[in-house]
Amino acid sequence: MSLIQIHDLTRRYVMGTETVHALRGVSLSIERGEYLAIMGPSGSGKSTLMNLLGCLDTPSSGYYELNGVNVAHMDDNSLAEIRNREIGFVFQSFNLLPRSDSLHNVELPLIYSGVSASERREKAMQALVNVGLGERTHHKPNELSGGQRQRVAIARALVNNPSIVLADEPTGNLDSRTGEEILGLFETLSRRGNTIIVVTHEEDVAQHARRIIRIRDGLVAADEINPNPRAALRMQEAVK
């Protein structure tokens, strides 16, 4: 059974008197363990698709099954629970809580799933070590470099063992070298069996994935296997 099964998904926005069709019927299935890139120029509907895949938004019509559960018409609170359990977000602008240190930022999903304080601490610590930030647990976001912030965000995305890591332009705010580092981290995660979906408009970034889905005008324009994914800089191996 596929991890993600979507069928004829549409999303319309009503803006005043105009109706915008952001998605016009997208069907996809994604298997567990895939490393997938969703590509498309701005306005193509890829962000809308990401919001739907991430359960941040609900479709106007269509079917979306995530990990065996139909989530297309869930209410706000059930979606929050799904997001908490099944999805780890990585954003372009990191989206860390500015007043909290790395450890607390990583703990956040565990707080919302009701994990006890001691277990929380332990898991968050481990997640930070896994992204190579074991020494930066008590730094606040403004005391970290861009790459480090994004790694905190990745640790946060992984800490609850989600089914999918959903990354929206994860390298967009980073210089190219740091961006490579982050992509390298994704490769490592992918090798360990995590399902990764990267949404991007950069061909370079997409080329790291093993499957590339191209969105244009709210429809899937191409869905192709990447025969030789680009490897990130090997220096990444220094970071576990």
Binding site for another protein (CB under 8 A): 51, 54, 56-57, 76-77, 80-81, 83-85, 89, 91, 95-97, 99-100, 108-109, 111-114, 156, 160
The residue type at 233: L
Measured from the CB atom, the residue of 70 and 113 that comes closer to another protein is 113
Angle (CA) 22-158-227 rounded to 5° is 65
Measured from the CB atom, the residue of 51 and 236 that comes closer to another protein is 51
- Residue at token pair 């590339």: 212
> What span, in angstroms and rounded, lies between the C-alpha atoms of 163 and 213?
19
Q: Please state, as a whole number, how many other Cβ atoms lie within 10 Å of the Cβ of residue 41.
A: 11
Query: Smallest distance from the beta carbon of 204 to another protein, in angstroms?
Result: 25
Measured from the CB atom, the residue of 97 and 235 that comes closer to another protein is 97
Query: Smallest distance from the beta carbon of 238 to another protein, in angstroms?
Result: 29
Measured from the CB atom, the residue of 157 and 232 that comes closer to another protein is 157
> What span, in angstroms and rounded, lies between the C-alpha atoms of 203 and 214?
11
Measured from the CB atom, the residue of 90 and 232 that comes closer to another protein is 90
Query: Smallest distance from the beta carbon of 224 to another protein, in angstroms?
Result: 28
Query: Smallest distance from the beta carbon of 154 to another protein, in angstroms?
Result: 13
Query: Smallest distance from the beta carbon of 173 to another protein, in angstroms?
Result: 14
Report whether 171 contacts 179 (CB < 8 A).
yes
DSSP state of 77: H
Beta-ladder partners of 38: 199, 213
